[in-house]
Each structure stands twice: as structure tokens, then as C-alpha cells.
């Protein structure tokens, strides 16, 4: 399979959605995996991402974790070009703006959409052009919905980039939520004639049941809009790929939608993750959830820590705010009791900082001097420059890799060394995200946890988190290959949106 493009510019496609969480990220990853299996050199792209789940590339750039996952689906190394603008919320009204992998300041939503966003369009288009000049195809992901008419004037991630880069648009709808036909029709009908010309058609996601029952509706949708549906993807449990905008579980629900396999030993191991405000990189616990016999749950009440064998305090974009939340809800006292009883606690990044003695923050919260929980001999000072690294090391006799994303600089004054952090008794702390994805280390750590918890839990000897991730990405590629019209998708990527697509009134308001 090869593209018939000219002028050194690869083909492209924008995967938009009727809503947030319609499935844009997984569809983009699935298309990337399908294409690379056909021998196509493909790359993912998202102009602007809002997420607290991020990743550090080898060149030390911070990008959305979803784009790193999509790069893995495409079997290429992730770079800042694939996500030039990343917004990391710090409150309901403001976000840190990360441009080309580096933070450039905090900005209110009004300030960003009021002018700064439009100024970034040139940077975004340059990144996309560079990718299209390097790869046979670039699969772009939109954000939210292209029909957010209040934001269209400054849009650089949906129709703004589609029109500037002349990308065909595939609109994904989550039928499991209901109302997918109205969402498809309404999305097109709220776009201007110029925008509608690039909307090629639709893709139904998360369908349960007999597709033949859906087909009359798809035919009517085509008659109403002049646009076809390119596939109906079935609902599938346990895909477990990295999320972008939110936690796809309810509180007190098992992590993701994964099913817990039977334990190798006699006991299961219960892991409770404190669902602190502005929780970031909660994907760190996915590797624990992948272990047979490990049950991972997100919790927000002190009593839910009582029967946990391990409590994880995860990363956060608001360390001081999260610390206050833990105290208000009684979770701080529960963590202190666990430490005194020799019961395992793991703090990662912001969670590590919370477990320390003292925090000096004039950067993130500007709260100044704040007392931590005092469970680890660590003092933290927030620096204006963000640490973005990919460390490699050893712990518990096993090799470990990870990545660091933090403003807090930790001064460790005691305890046993642990991944550039420390350990005191059964309380562990590190700035390293992703360390639990190192299989040997994860197994050694879980053996320590099980021993301290008095559980006859045995880690599986053959669980490979990397292999499981590859299997999940292949399942996404299978979904596209088996349930989408791949020949028609290829024509879109290669040749752009069909000509002569009808205008659907009323169109965007003047």
C-alpha cells in the first residue's frame, strides 16, 4: 500500500468527535496501528491537548500521554511535533500552557481563547507540515467537538486545522451514550458551509447488538446529510489504553474496565489509589491492574483505606490543594496510621511530595511554607523550571525506567534510597512515573507489599506490561480492519474529502 500524493506531502485525516470521550483517541490509535501493519509510515498528531496525563519524550519534551500511546500504535518514537500545544489544568479557570514540550506560563481560559490560541496556529501548522513531509500519512485527533460554535473563531485543533491543512474529517460518535444520530446530524448542521465541505462522514463507536438493526438509521443519516458512515465499531471491554481528559471509571470502581485475573498465589492484593484533586498520570497504576490477582480501585474516603494492602498517593497538578483535601477528608490521618502500623504506602511525584515533611511553594499554589504529612524525611521546594527527564536506574535488585514531570525539587535527608526518592519502613516515595511498567521491578515491589501486608500473594512470573499494551493496540487495529470500510478510509487519507458534499442548514450562526 502506498500513497499517490505529490510534492512530498503525505496524506492525512482528522478524527473529530460529537463529544469529548466519544472515542477519538482510540480510533486514532486504531487507524495508526492498522496503517502501520499495512506497511504505511504513519504518525499521530494532536494540535492542542488538554490533559493531566502527560509523557516525556526522549528529547525531554512533555506531550499528552494519549499521543505517546498513538505513537506506539504507529511504531514510531513520540516527539513534540505530535502534540505542539498541551494545556494542563491547574483549576477550573486556568491551565499551564506547554508549547513544543516546554511550559511557557499559566493562562486563564478567557486569556487563552481570547487571543493566545489563534497566535499558535502558525506553530501548529508548521508541526503538521513537517510530519506530513516525513510520513506517508498523519492521523490527527480533534478535541471536544468541532461544533463548539463559541470557540470556532480561534479554533486550532478541529475545523480550524482541517481547513488550513485541507484535511478530510471523520466524525466519531459514541452510540453507547444514546442520541448518536442527532449528534451526527447536529454536528454537521452547526458548521459553516466552508467547514462542512471537509466533513466526509461518520464512524459509530461502542455499538452493542445486531448491526443490521442499525443500518436503516445509517441509510437515513446518509440521505439527510449526503455523507456515509465508514464503520460501526463494537463495544469492547478491557482495552485499557491511556486516557486523555478524564478518569474513565467511577470513584470506588475498579480501574479502567479490566477484569481481574485469578491470582497465582492464595490471596489477591488490594490497591487503593487516593483520588486526589487534579490527579495526574493516574496511568501509573495500570501496570498494577494488569497483574493477575491485583485489584486496583480509586477511593475518596478514609474507611476505604482500611482493607487495602497498598495505598497509592498519585501525582497531581496541585500538590498543596491535594494535601488540604487529604486532611479535610480524614485520609491524611488514615495514611499516618498506616505508616505507624508498617502497612505499605507509595507516593508518586506529587504524592511523594505530600508524604514529605515540608513544602515551599511559590510557583504552583503560591501558598508559601506548608507542612507535609511527615511520613518521609523529604523537604520540597518548587522551582519555576520544570524537571522533564527519562531516568534509568535500579531498585530492589531490578532495572527500572521511568519519566519525571515536576516543579518540586526534593531534598532527601534520610531513609533508604529508592528511585531518587526514599523509603522509610513500608512508606515509599519517588518522582518517577512509569516505574511500575518495568516488569521485574514491579514483581519485586509487589512481593515486598504482600509480605508487609501478610498476604499470600505471588506475582505472575510471565506478565509483560509491554506485551499487554501491544496486544491492546493490536486489538484497536483489528477493530478498524474488521469493522470499518478500510478501502474508503484509505481513499480519504490519500485524496481528501469527496467533492460536492451538500450543505446542511442552518449552518454556523453569523
- Using a pLDDT cut of 90, give the percent of the chain over it: 82
* Catalytically annotated residue among 406, 431, 433, 483: 433
Residue 256: pLDDT band (50, 70, 90) is very low
Q: Is residue 349 among the annotated active site residues? A: yes
Span 408-437, average pLDDT: 96
pLDDT for the residue 259: 57
Residue 425 has pLDDT above 90, yes or no: yes
User: Which of 42-46, 152-156, 168-172, 393-397 is predicted least confidently?
Assistant: 152-156
* DSSP β-bridge partners for residue 423: 416, 428
Span 454-462, average pLDDT: 94
- Output 9 or 85, whichever has higher pLDDT: 85
Residue 240: pLDDT band (50, 70, 90) is low
Residues 343-380: tens digit of each pLDDT: 999 999 999 999 999 999 998 888 899 999 999 999 99
Per-residue DSSP letter, 484: B
pLDDT for the residue 474: 96
Which pairing describes strands 392-395 and 398-401: parallel, antiparallel, or unpaired? antiparallel
Nine-digit cell string for 486: 478500510
Q: Peptide bond preceding 139: is omega within 30 degrees of 0, i.e. cis?
A: no
Residue 190 has pLDDT above 60, yes or no: yes
Count of CB atoms situated within 10 Å of the CB of 104: 12
pLDDT for the residue 113: 66
Q: What is the pTM of this model?
A: 0.91
Span 176-188, average pLDDT: 96
Residue 247 has pLDDT above 50, yes or no: no
Q: Is residue 422 among the annotated active site residues? A: no
The separation between the first and the last C-alpha atoms of the chain, rounded to the nearest angstrom, is: 43
Q: Which residue has the cell 501491544?
A: 470
Span 185-192, average pLDDT: 97
Most confident of the following: 151-155, 257-261, 435-439? 435-439
Residue 115 has pLDDT above 70, yes or no: no
Residue 182 has pLDDT above 80, yes or no: yes
* Catalytically annotated residue among 32, 140, 349, 422: 349
Based on its alpha-carbon atoms, the radius of gyration of the chain, rounded to whole angstroms, reads 23
Residues 98-112: tens digit of each pLDDT: 999 999 888 876 777
Per-residue DSSP letter, 202: E
Residue 92: pLDDT band (50, 70, 90) is confident
Residue 362 CA: distances (Å) to CA of 321, 354, 357, 365, 441:
13, 16, 17, 7, 35
Span 441-449, average pLDDT: 97
Rounded to 5 degrees, what are φ and ψ at 175?
-75, -20
Span 491-502, average pLDDT: 96
Amino acid at each position: 500500500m502506498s500513497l499517490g500524493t505529490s510534492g512530498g506531502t503525505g496524506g492525512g485525516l482528522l478524527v473529530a468527535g460529537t463529544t469529548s470521550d466519544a472515542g477519538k483517541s482510540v480510533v486514532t490509535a486504531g487507524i495508526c496501528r492498522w496503517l502501520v501493519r499495512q506497511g504505511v509510515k504513519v504518525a499521530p498528531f494532536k494540535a492542542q491537548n488538554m490533559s493531566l496525563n502527560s509523557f516525556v519524550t526522549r528529547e525531554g519534551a512533555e506531550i499528552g500521554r494519549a499521543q505517546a500511546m498513538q505513537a506506539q500504535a504507529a511504531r514510531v518514537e513520540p516527539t513534540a511535533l505530535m502534540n505542539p500545544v498541551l494545556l494542563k489544568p491547574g483549576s477550573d479557570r486556568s491551565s499551564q500552557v506547554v508549547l513544543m514540550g516546554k511550559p511557557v506560563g499559566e493562562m486563564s481560559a478567557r486569556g487563552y481563547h481570547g487571543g493566545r490560541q489563534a497566535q499558535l496556529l502558525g506553530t501548529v501548522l508548521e508541526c503538521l507540515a513537517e510530519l506530513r513531509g516525513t510520513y506517508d500519512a498523519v492521523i490527527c485527533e480533534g478535541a471536544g467537538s468541532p461544533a463548539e460554535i463559541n470557540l470556532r473563531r480561534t479554533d486550532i485543533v478541529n475545523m480550524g486545522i482541517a481547513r488550513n491543512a485541507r484535511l478530510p474529517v471523520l466524525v466519531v460518535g459514541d452510540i453507547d451514550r444514546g442520541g448518536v444520530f442527532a449528534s451526527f446530524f447536529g454536528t454537521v448542521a452547526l458548521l459553516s458551509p466552508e467547514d462542512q465541505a471537509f466533513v466526509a462522514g461518520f464512524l459509530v463507536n461502542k455499538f452493542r447488538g445486531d448491526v443490521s438493526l442499525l443500518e436503516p438509521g445509517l441509510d437515513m443519516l446518509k440521505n439527510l446529510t449526503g455523507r456515509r458512515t465508514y464503520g460501526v465499531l463494537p463495544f469492547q471491554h478491557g482495552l485499557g489504553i491511556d486516557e486523555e481528559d478524564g478518569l474513565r471509571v467511577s470513584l470506588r470502581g475498579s480501574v479502567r474496565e479490566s477484569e481481574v485475573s485469578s491470582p497465582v498465589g492464595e490471596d489477591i492484593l488490594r490497591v487503593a489509589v487516593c483520588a486526589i484533586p487534579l490527579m495526574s498520570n493516574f496511568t501509573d497504576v495500570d501496570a498494577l491492574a494488569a497483574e493477575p490477582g491485583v485489584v486496583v480501585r480509586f477511593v475518596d474516603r478514609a474507611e476505604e483505606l482500611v482493607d487495602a494492602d497498598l495505598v497509592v498517593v498519585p501525582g497531581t497538578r496541585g500538590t498543596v490543594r491535594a494535601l488540604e483535601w487529604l486532611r479535610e477528608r480524614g485520609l491524611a490521618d488514615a495514611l499516618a496510621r498506616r505508616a505507624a502500623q508498617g502497612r505499605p504506602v507509595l507516593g508518586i511525584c506529587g504524592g511523594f511530595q505530600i508524604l514529605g515533611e515540608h513544602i515551599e511553594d511559590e510557583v504552583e499554589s503560591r501558598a508559601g511554607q506548608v507542612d507535609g504529612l511527615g511520613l518521609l524525611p523529604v523537604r520540597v521546594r518548587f522551582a519555576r523550571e520544570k524537571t522533564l527527564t527519562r531516568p534509568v536506574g535500579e531498585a530492589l535488585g531490578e532495572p527500572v525506567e521511568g519519566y519525571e514531570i515536576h516543579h518540586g525539587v526534593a531534598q532527601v535527608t534520610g531513609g533508604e534510597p529508592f528511585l531518587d526518592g526514599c523509603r522509610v519502613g513500608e512508606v515509599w516515595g519517588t518522582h518517577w512515573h512509569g516505574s511500575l511498567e518495568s516488569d521485574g521491578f514491579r514483581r519485586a515491589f509487589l512481593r515486598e507489599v504482600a509480605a508487609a501486608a501478610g498476604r499470600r500473594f505471588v506475582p505472575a512470573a510471565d506478565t509483560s506490561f509491554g506485551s499487554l499494551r501491544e496486544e491492546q493496540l493490536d486489538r484497536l487495529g483489528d477493530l478498524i480492519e474488521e469493522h470499518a470500510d478500510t478501502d474508503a478510509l484509505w481513499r480519504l487519507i490519500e485524496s481528501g474529502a469527496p467533492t460536492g458534499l451538500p450543505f446542511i442548514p442552518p449552518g454556523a450562526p453569523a
